[in-house]
């Protein structure tokens, strides 16, 4: 099947339940770490599912699952450093926890990631943030069709998303993560398109 990424970008409100919401990662236990440097931190991963995946939500780690001290920008980049999708996870408990109970999550415009490549997901941490990062996870398990790469960070003092290129040996720093689902069959898009067309006609008639 010849898949064009542009065909898989439309609003989350339009897609709704068309996609499953599978957390990208989970683990058994972890340590935590703060930061004294404003930075963008996360991890790299590969898509091993042959037809790719659809990223439906971006997420941020909530230590103790008791709410975030501040809001955090989260983004996904391709291997060339192009930002493919981003959002802001709100402070407090506004955004719900995902199925692992570890991440606060919010819907984005579903974004297609092709198989292979070397993607990076990461989040902004402000200096002295009250929100801790998970480090040195044990029992790390990635979702089906994904493979963990390595820790990535950019300690540049910039309070905005910046492509993290530096690495360290420890498994960790997943402040940012995501949820995803399978790529829909073409028939799904036909059904969604017809539904949107009907909705547009109804609104015009009113």
**124-153 pLDDT tens trace:** 999 999 999 999 899 999 999 999 999 999
DSSP 67-131: -BSS-EEEEEE-TT--EEEEEEEPSBTSSPB-TTSSEEEEEEEEEEE-SEEEEEEEEEE-TT-SS
Are 1 and 51 contacting, i.e. CB atoms less than 8 angstroms apart?
yes
| pLDDT, position 200 | 55
Query: How many residues in total does the chain contain?
Result: 206
| pLDDT, position 193 | 52
What are the boundaries of each domain within the chain? Answer: 7-205
Just give the CATH number of 7-205.
2.60.120
Does the pLDDT value for residue 5 go beyond 60? Answer: no
> Which tens digit of pLDDT belongs to each residue from 15-37?
443 567 899 999 999 999 999 99
What is the rounded CA–CA span in Å between residue 138 and residue 123?
21
Task: Give the residue from 80, 21, 29 showing the smallest Cα distance to 56.
Answer: 21
């Amino acid at each position: 099947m010849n898949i064009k990424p542009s065909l898989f970008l439309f609003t989350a409100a339009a897609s709704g339940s068309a996609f499953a919401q599978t957390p990208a990662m989970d683990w058994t236990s972890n340590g935590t770490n703060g930061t004294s440097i404003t930075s963008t931190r996360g991890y790299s991963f590969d898509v091993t599912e042959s037809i790719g995946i659809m990223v439906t939500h971006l997420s941020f780690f909530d230590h103790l699952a008791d709410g975030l001290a501040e809001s955090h920008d989260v983004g996904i980049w391709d291997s060339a450093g192009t930002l493919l999708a981003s959002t802001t996870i709100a402070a407090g408990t506004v955004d719900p926890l995902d199925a692992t109970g570890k991440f606060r999550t919010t819907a984005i415009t579903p974004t297609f990631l092709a198989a292979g490549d070397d993607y990076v997901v990461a989040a902004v941490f402000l200096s002295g943030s009250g929100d801790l990062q998970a480090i040195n996870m044990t029992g790390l398990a990635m979702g089906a069709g994904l493979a963990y790469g390595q820790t990535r960070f950019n300690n540049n003092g910039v309070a905005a998303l910046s492509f993290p290129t530096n690495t360290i040996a420890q498994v960790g720093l997943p402040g940012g993560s995501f949820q995803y689902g399978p790529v829909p069959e073409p028939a799904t898009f036909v059904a969604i398109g017809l539904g949107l067309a009907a909705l547009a006609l109804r609104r015009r008639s009113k």
